[in-house]
Amino acid sequence: MEIPEFTCLCPQTGQPDFASLYLDYVPDRKCVELKSLKLYIWSYRNEGAFHEAVTNRILDDLAKATQPRYMRLTARFYVRGGIFTTVVASTQKKGWRAPATLNLDLDALPPSSSAR
């Protein structure tokens, strides 16, 4: 999932921070509902948070709610003071192993019958 409009506030200056979030995960029994995810992400708009802390908190909250086999959150914060910040956090279920190859090329998928 790509979330290009993440915002929070710098806890030191109160200035807005902007980021694109990329959520990759392999669900187990539960999955992320998109509207709930959107509302959860919006809840940070007026909250002060450091980049690393907010990335880890979002990952922890989502992993706790869904208990996935694997989850990775990449947060690419836009430039502030001449510095771009990218924070990557991940978690995986004990004993879970990723497949040897994982093709996420959507163009390689066969056309669905509903698309005809």
Whether 48 contacts 8, CB under 8 Å: yes
Among 8, 17, 61, 107, the active-site one is: 17
Helix axis angle, 51-66 to 34-42, nearest 10°: 150
Q: What is the radius of gyration, based on Cα positions, of the chain?
A: 16
**Secondary structure string (H, E, C) spanning 46-64:** CCECCHHHHHHHHHHHHHH
Largest CA-CA distance found in the chain, in angstroms, rounded = 54
31 part of the active site: no
User: Are the C-beta atoms of 71 and 13 separated by less than 8 Å?
Assistant: no
Q: Which of 10, 24, 31, 107 is catalytic?
A: 10
**Residues annotated as part of the active site:** 10, 17
